Amino acid sequence: MAQAQAQGHVHGDHHHSVKRYTGIMDWLTTVDHKKIGILYLLAGGFFFGIGGIEAILIRLQLIKPMNNFVSAQVFNELITMHGTTMIFLGVMPIIFALMNAVIPLQIGARDVAFPFLNSLGFWTFLFGGILLNLSWVMGGAPDAGWTAYTPLSSEYSNSHGVDFYTIGLQIAGLGTLIGGINFLVTIITMRAPGMSYMRMPMFTWASFITSAMILFAFPAITVGLVLLSFDRILGANFFDVAAGGNPVLWQHIFWIFGHPEVYILILPAFGIISEVIPTFARKRLFGYSSMVFATILIAFLGFMVWAHHMFTTGLGPVANALFSIATMLIAVPTGIKIFNWLFTMWGGQITFTSSNLFAIGFIPTFVMGGVTGVMLASAPADYQYHDTYFVVAHFHYVIVGGLVFGLLSGLHYWWPKMFGRMLSEPIGKWTFWTFCIGFHLTFFVQHFLGLLGMQRRIVSYLPHQNFDTMNLISTIGALLMGVGILLFLYNIVVTSMKPMNAAADAWEDGRTLEWSIPSPPPEYNFKQTPLVRGIDAFWKEKMAGNKAMTPAEPVGSIHMPSPSILPFVMSLGLFIAGLGFMFSREDFSNSFMSFIFNNYLVLIIGLMITFGAMITRSLIDDPGYHIEPEEQEEEVRA
């Protein structure tokens, strides 16, 4: 197994020669979790930008009644791709970016458990995302909503859009599943000596629970996407009533995945907030063990509430009542968390950095989303709210007001650790205020639009229904949010031109292990694995008057995994195979194209590339390489 490992009893030759790449090849072949984190951030940020542009176009179409800025078909494609892109290709990868960048550092590890898989997870995600977005230029994007309800998605969507959805998400989902398993194993097996489960930082805990949810939830969507793509491409009948199938089955499968998915999104944000608030309040997190308990409880309940998305499907009063109660129960652990954050700030010495502003702004915003969540959980009332803008307002309050605030907080907080440069505080504060005000302008009024009866996913509306002004406000808010994100990008550009001089303990009040090592950390993170003597390990040492962590091992040569291009090749193969499968029943005018696609040649070639890379990986040993103590010294001096 190629993984970073403590030295001391390594046998045999230390000097395996390993090719070290530079430039673009370095990024294509890297298995370093810090670089993969940056790749996730770049790719996730790119897709987040695409999703954001789609959002702006949606809002421009709805700026006034009976607008014809885009056609109805394009509008359907925009809303579908906005939701799909934002969730699967935008925020999930940015979550993985932070998990990659931070978790090994927080638990005192030199890398993740499976560095090669880590890279594979990134590349499958990226190729899946590219495949999905190629739909815009290859005959039309998916247009059946991000939930792709059957029979709309299976029988009534005639372009290849939904095929791009099923295949693209299948490949991207593979990456997420791989990433989730990797972090589970990393957190279970690679914690530094002394770091028991109940001494893990809250972000690590949240990511651990999130990864477990990924492990259990993603197989459901995998199965669902297989069934849907077989229905569409191979003529199966899983969702076709006429042939004995059942379209409601898709809704169940989708939401058995989909509801845990929204907790997969929000739990890491909870973790980030639980790191940022104690740091900037200079106080230990209030109620740490209840925070852990609440996180586990939310994850557990999250698997038993999926049918609250389907109250109007006709499950019957008993099922609706049960799912109502289960859903409302989730408010209890979530409430515990909210109060714990408030009590953490209580009596603390709070500094309002831009990171902390996002964290503090998160609390009331998320509470508002939570309250509308409890309202929606009431089945009888849901008949009124269902598929209106009230729902749109609710889930944007929890996803944007919760998750995106959390991510922006985390990015401002860990930026010096990831890149060695402090983001500009004044621009950061401008980012927060424009984004926060823009956000509330956009979505607060949508509650009332929904209550007045404006349906979601409609391309236009008639004037004189009291919708006009609020839609205008909403669009102005969306533009302001766009300005906020542009300010953040501007901040990044300005910061990247400054010298790389962030201190190791960049905020001076760092509590967890990542702040005990240089910013950015050396390739091997910890020269000596630290000894953890309590919760908030680094803070504990500082309070005891120590400047650094107590090492748990002598200085020695460090074993590192070698870089590899194979993950990229495997993912490329899946990408080609996906395209081949999608167009296997297409009528091409060009006879060569019909020959290679209709005979499944493209599919086979793609799979051969992937399996060939897998066989190569299995047959050729990867001994990794060692960084000797002398080289470690050189790196520090450089």
Binding mask 466-505 for another protein (x = CB under 8 A): ----------------------------------------
Q: Does 226 bind another protein (CB under 8 A)?
A: no
Piece in contact with another protein (CB under 8 A), picked from 51-59, 125-133, 249-257, 564-572: 249-257
* Min dist. Cβ of residue 417 to another protein (A): 22
Residue 212 lies near another protein (rule: CB under 8 A) = yes
Closer residue to another protein in complex, CB, 149/303: 303
Any idea how long the chain is?
A: 638
Q: Output the CA torsion 145→150→155→159 (10° steps).
A: 20
Least distance in angstroms from the C-beta of 554 to another protein: 13
The piece of 210-218, 387-395, 580-588, 598-606 that touches another protein (CB under 8 A) is 210-218
CB 457 within 8 A of CB 76: yes
513 in contact with another protein (CB under 8 A):
no
Paired strand residues for 558: 627
Of the candidate spans 212-220, 261-269, 320-328, 480-488, the one that interacts with another protein by CB under 8 A turns out to be 212-220
303 touches another protein (CB under 8 A): yes
**If binding is defined by CB under 8 A, does position 249 make contact with another protein?**
yes
Considering only the stretches 76-84, 120-128, 187-195, 505-513, report the one whose residues sit in contact with another protein under the rule CB under 8 A.
187-195
Q: Are 186 and 118 in contact (CB under 8 A)?
A: no
Q: Which residues contact 57 (CB under 8 A, 6 or more apart)?
A: 69, 70, 78
Provide the sign of the torsion angle of the four alpha carbons 329, 330, 331, 334, taken in this order: positive
Residues between 430 and 449 that touch another protein (CB under 8 A): none
d(CA 77, CA 348): 48
Q: By C-beta, is 220 or 359 nearer to another protein?
A: 220
Q: Which of 177, 253, 264, 627 binds another protein (CB under 8 A)?
A: 253
List, in order, residues 6 or more apart from 433 with CB less than 8 Å away. none
Q: Which of 33, 34, 160, 252 binds another protein (CB under 8 A)?
A: 252
Strands (E), 67-122: none
**3-11, 229-237, 482-490, 512-520 -> range binding another protein (CB under 8 A):** 3-11
Using CB under 8 A as the binding rule, whether residue 246 contacts another protein is answered as yes
| Complex with another protein: residue 1 or 234, whichever CB lies closer | 1
Q: Counting contacts by CB under 8 A, is residue 189 touching another protein?
A: yes
Residue 259's H or E segment, with its range, is helix 247-281
Residue 299's CB is within 10 A of a number of other CB atoms, namely 22
Q: Least distance (Å) from another protein to the CB of residue 286?
A: 27
DSSP string for 343-385: HHHTT------HHHHHHHHHHHHHHHHHHHHHHHHSHHHHHHH
**Is the Cβ–Cβ distance between 532 and 539 less than 8 Å?**
no
CB nearer to another protein: pick between 9 and 19: 9
| Cβ distance to another protein smaller for residue 315 or 472 | 315
- Position 190 contacts another protein (CB under 8 A): yes
CA 336, CA 520: separation in Å to the nearest integer?
A: 35
Please report which helix (H) or strand (E) contains residue 411, including its range: helix 405-419
CB 64 within 8 A of CB 472: yes
Looking at residue 561, the DSSP 8-state letter turns out to be P
Q: Does 451 bind another protein (CB under 8 A)?
A: no
Three-state SS at 422: coil
Min dist. Cβ of residue 395 to another protein (A): 23
The reply on whether position 220 binds another protein by CB under 8 A is yes
Interaction of residue 199 with another protein, rule CB under 8 A: no
**552 counts as binding another protein under rule CB under 8 A:** yes
**Distance (Å, whole) CA 328 – CA 258:** 18
Cβ atoms within 10 Å of 188's Cβ, excluding its own: 12
Binding another protein by CB under 8 A: which of 6, 206, 418, 537? 6
Quick note: the x/- pattern for another protein over 306-345, rule CB under 8 A, is: ---------x---x--------------------------
d(CA 553, CA 573): 43
Choose one: 71-79, 162-170, 243-251, 580-588; the region binding another protein (CB under 8 A). 243-251
Nearer to another protein, 211 or 279 (CB): 211
Identity at 410, one-letter amino acid code: G
Among 101, 192, 360, 485, binds another protein (CB under 8 A): 192
Give the span between the Cα atoms of 441 and 477, in whole angstroms: 5
Burial class for 115, CB neighbours closer than 10 Å (0-12, 13-18, 19+): buried
Among 2, 214, 256, 360, interactor with another protein by CB under 8 A:
256
# residues near another protein by CB under 8 A = 32
Pairing of strands 625-627, 558-560: antiparallel
Angle, vertex CA 343, rays to CA 342 and CA 346, nearest 5? 90
Dihedral (C-alpha) 610, 612, 613, 616: value to the nearest 10 degrees?
Answer: 160
Instruction: Indicate the residue among 179 and 369 with the shorter CB distance to another protein.
Output: 179
Q: How far is CA 179 from the centre of its chain?
A: 11
530 strand-pairing partners: 551
600 binds another protein (CB under 8 A): no
216 binds another protein (CB under 8 A): yes
Q: Is 177 in the site for another protein (CB under 8 A)?
A: no
3 state DSSP class of 559: strand
CB 110 within 8 A of CB 624: no
- Applying CB under 8 A, does 378 fall inside the site for another protein? no
Q: Where does this chain touch another protein (CB under 8 A) — which range of 29-37, 51-59, 184-192, 613-621? A: 184-192
Q: Is 240 in the site for another protein (CB under 8 A)?
A: no
- If the CB atoms of residues 240 and 553 are measured against another protein, the closer one turns out to be 553
CA angle 171, 172, 177 (to 5 degrees): 100
Q: Is the dihedral of CA 127, 128, 129, 134 positive or negative?
A: positive
Window 104-143: contact mask with another protein (x via CB under 8 A): ---------x------------------------------
- How far apart are CB 509 and another protein at their closest, in Å? 28
Task: Identify the helix (H) or strand (E) that includes residue 625.
Answer: strand 625-627
Q: Which among 196, 6, 22, 218 is positioned nearest to 125, based on CA atoms?
A: 218
Nearer to another protein, 252 or 283 (CB): 252
Q: Which is nearer to another protein, 109 or 602 (CB)?
A: 109
Residues that bind another protein (CB under 8 A): 1, 3, 5-6, 113, 184-185, 188-194, 212, 215-217, 220, 246, 248-249, 252-253, 256, 303-304, 315, 319, 529, 552-553
